[in-house]
């Protein structure tokens, strides 16, 4: 005759049984949301992973005797073609590698982070280079029309000018890839998934402006211009579906200021530039120590560029 359950067969449910499940739910809520790992943790993961990869790359390069003896001779407050290429190259490579690692875990691709490798990518990059140089040329032209800028004579020439110009072009391309992929690529895509595209773009644009505050010679006007450029870059991402146009604009803008027109860039002084340029007049016109990015005319140039993007790259359904 079968008997009912006894105390040796079944254990009554107590409060202790609910502790592990409650703790697990709390941990799950802290780290995971409806779409997987929460946004904050994803961004923190990308930051520490970038630091690890960038540190490893730096140590690997410094292991070479020539690089190890060269690094201490560099003044980090003055931009040189070689230093720019070295530092920004590490930053760009670390940003791409860290995103590839995260993309594998998040089951995404670089295209999901604003960096699609498709046929139109080269076209957008080329157009961005032309637009960026046109922007800085228009800005310098406006300042010169008000007698605020003189190009002066050539500072370097011949093979030295070509070498310096090429190294600056490569260095600023690395810088543009690093900064645009960080702020308008991975961070933008990740943060937008939580709070929406434009709130994320606005927040990251202020962060982009904030990183310029530490530059020697930077001003409030220059930081404001960096914030405005961040919004413009986000607008180009919205209209083209990627950051290639923004990368081109960013690289050509910095190259035009630092090398071609030979003026301060975000408060940073440089060597190996093309001209012996000089500014004349009030800071509101020339930008003062920040360079032309601090000029009142920069906002007009950015606004006109935004209008051009609006008409050339119409919104998609």
pLDDT tens digits for 221-265? 999 999 999 999 999 999 999 999 999 999 999 999 999 999 999
Token pair for residue 159? 């093979």
How far apart are the C-alpha atoms of 218 and 77, rounded to whole Å? 12
CB atoms within 10 A of CB 310: 12
Q: Quickly state the pLDDT bin for 5 (edges 50, 70, 90).
A: very low
Global pTM value: 0.86
Give the tens place of pLDDT for each residue, 282-300: 999 999 999 999 999 999 9
Which is it for strands 36-37 and 32-33: parallel, antiparallel or unpaired? antiparallel
194, 203 Cβ separation under 8 angstroms: no
pLDDT at 23: 55
202 class by beta-carbon count within 10 Å (0-12 exposed, 13-18 middle, 19+ buried): middle
With CA atoms as reference, report the closest residue to 188 among 33, 39, 36.
39
Give residue 123's pLDDT band: very low, low, confident or very high (50, 70, 90).
Answer: very high
- With cut-offs at 50, 70 and 90, classify the pLDDT of residue 25: low
Closest C-alpha among 239, 242, 249, 241 to residue 313: 239
Mean pLDDT of 49-65: 95
| Structure tokens given for 317 | 């359904």
Residues 6+ apart with CB under 8 A from 221: 283, 284, 287, 290, 293, 294, 295, 296
- How confident is the model at residue 135, as a pLDDT? 97
């Amino acid at each position: 005759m079968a008997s009912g359950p006894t105390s040796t067969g079944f254990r009554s449910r107590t409060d202790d049984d609910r502790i592990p499940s409650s703790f697990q739910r709390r941990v799950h809520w802290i780290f995971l949301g409806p779409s997987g790992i929460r946004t904050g943790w994803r961004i923190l993961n990308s930051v520490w992973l970038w630091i690890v990869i960038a540190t490893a790359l730096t140590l690997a390069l410094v292991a070479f005797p020539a690089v190890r003896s060269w690094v201490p001779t560099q003044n980090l407050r003055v931009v040189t073609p070689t230093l720019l290429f070295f530092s920004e190259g590490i930053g760009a490579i670390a940003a791409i590698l860290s995103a590839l690692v995260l993309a594998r875990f998040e089951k995404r691709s670089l295209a999901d982070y604003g960096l699609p490798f498709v046929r139109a990518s080269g076209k957008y990059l080329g157009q961005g280079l032309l637009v960026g140089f046109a922007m800085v040329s228009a800005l310098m032209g406006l300042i010169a029309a008000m007698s605020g800028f003189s190009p002066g004579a050539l500072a370097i020439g011949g093979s030295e000018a070509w070498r310096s110009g090429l190294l600056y072009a490569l260095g600023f391309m690395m810088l543009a890839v690093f900064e645009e992929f960080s702020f308008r690529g991975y961070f933008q895509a990740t943060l937008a998934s939580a709070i929406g595209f434009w709130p994320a773009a606005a927040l990251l644009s202020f962060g982009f402006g904030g990183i310029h505050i530490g530059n020697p010679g930077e001003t409030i006007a220059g930081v404001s211009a960096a914030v405005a450029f961040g919004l413009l870059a986000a607008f180009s991402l919205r209209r083209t579906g990627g950051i290639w146009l923004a990368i081109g604009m960013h690289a050509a803008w910095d190259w035009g200021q630092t090398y071609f027109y030979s003026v301060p860039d975000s408060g940073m002084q440089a060597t190996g530039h093309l001209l012996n340029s000089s500014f004349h007049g009030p800071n509101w016109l020339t930008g003062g120590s920040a360079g032309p990015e601090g000029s009142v005319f920069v906002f007009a140039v950015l606004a006109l560029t935004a209008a051009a993007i609006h008409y050339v790259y119409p919104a998609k359904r």
